[in-house]
Chains A and B, each alone.
Chain A
Amino acid sequence: MLRLIAPRSRGRVIAWGLLLATAAALGVTRWIKASDHKDSALLAADHAADIADVYTFKSPVNPDNVVLVMTVSGFIPPSEASTTFFDPNVLYQWKIDNSGDAVEDLVIQAFVTGTGGHQVMHFRGPAAPAATGTTDRVVPGPETATVRVSNSEVPIVASRGGMTVFAGVRDDPFFFDLVQFKRIIAGEATSFRNPGVDTFAGFNVLAIVAEFPSSLLGGQKLGVWGTTSRVQF
């Protein structure tokens, strides 16, 4: 019954900011008002499917491992750190292309069961997807790993079969002087401040992290992207 449209992505807000700043720098000021839209209640309701960032890097601890990070549900204030949860209707995925055609050869999937402070995050893969593209299904089990979702300072971490996983609330790792950027867009400033002020400081995200041997990904040159998918009612 709910078909939520256009999840508000912080990444996209920033991206649009970049575009608008470019436009502003070029004197194309008419664009700015046209595109400076605010969140609606409907979009805010889809926060749990809203990807903030994706990170991919070799483990600093074990160079044979790769670390995948996805953050969602940006701008969680401290007052809501322990009461913001993953959505059991959302499948969180990293998709891996190891053949250079930008089509996923493998997926790593994560989804929660449970509600409130008693969620468990289930991980499956790396495994071949049931189908490529934008229609997704949970791949057959068993789970690669499971972990209880963390909602406090001490992270709950689980390992199984070479995969180490985490899911829960953390400080938003992203940093950017978005406030000054908006002033530049609005024509209220002509340059960044120095030092700048991190707009994301003090806010939290819901994070999903998986570390495992990169040999499981079927190649060394990879393309990685994150997706969120929803049950269609």
Chain B
Amino acid sequence: MPVTAKTLQLLPLLALLVAACEEASGPTASPRLDASVLMPQELRQEDRFGLPAIATVFIPTNLKDAYNEAPPAQDGANFKSLIVQKLIAFGQTPAAADALADALTPDIQPIDVSQPSGFLNGRKLDDDVITAELGLIFGSNAALNDDHVDANDKPFLPTFPYLAGPNVQ
């Protein structure tokens, strides 16, 4: 039926028009903005992030996609043995490797909100997580256990949204 087909073709355009009108209404536009293309869709995870940097140290290239697309609840079953193997290959004792692998799986950021925040109880903007992690890997090797970049290049804001303003030309 040509009429139906034509109508279907026009639907995305209508959605765009609705979206355009809604956005023109300003920053506190009404919550009926349901023109999002996401709304009726089934979506699939593309990327995830828990602990900064260190967890994925141990995921080999051929498993990176699988890791990115996996839920953390399965990290222990899927990836712990790989982590243990790598740590042992890097010279850790089996007991130490097992303990560290337990701390790194699942790959989520723990926080107890009844306690002060700071890596590894949550992660604040100014936490020097790289130096913390280099220390974990390189221990007392002073050449490699600190990158000597201790703070962000721009000061964080004391109030929301806390992040420093953009670098512009």
Contact = CB atoms under 8 A, between A and B. Distances in A.
B108 A224 contact: yes
B57 A202 contact: no
A82 B31 CA distance: 26
Nearest to A24: B144
Interface residues of B, number: 96
B158 A228 contact: no
A17 to B, nearest CB: 8
B27 interface: yes
A134 B108 CA distance: 15
B111 interface: yes
Contacts of B91: 26
A90 B49 CA distance: 15
- Interface of A, secondary structure class, is mixed
Contacts, number: 339
B49 A21 contact: no
A77 B168 CA distance: 8
A9 B148 CA distance: 23
Given A192-B143, A224-B111, A229-B44, A22 B90 contact: yes
Interface string B57-77: 110010011001111110100
B53 A89 contact: no
Contact of B36 (A6, A16, A88, A169): A88
Given A14-B53, A18-B53, A55 B125 contact: yes
A170 B111 CA distance: 25
Nearest to B128: A175
A160 B30 CA distance: 12
A196 B130 CA distance: 12
A181 interface: yes
A78 B148 contact: no
B136 to A, nearest CB: 10
A45 interface: no
Interface stretch (B1-9, B15-23, B94-102): B15-23
A113 B124 CA distance: 29
Given A88-B37, A138-B38, A152 B134 contact: no
Given A195-B148, A228-B46, 7 more contacts: A11-B53, A37-B61, A102-B71, A171-B167, A207-B161, A228-B47, A232-B42
9 contacts: A15-B56, A21-B144, A118-B20, A173-B125, A184-B144, A191-B144, A195-B149, A229-B44, A229-B46
Q: Which 9 A-B pairs rank lowest in CB-CB distance, beginning with the nearest?
A: A191-B143, A201-B153, A142-B31, A148-B27, A166-B161, A196-B148, A229-B43, A57-B117, A134-B45
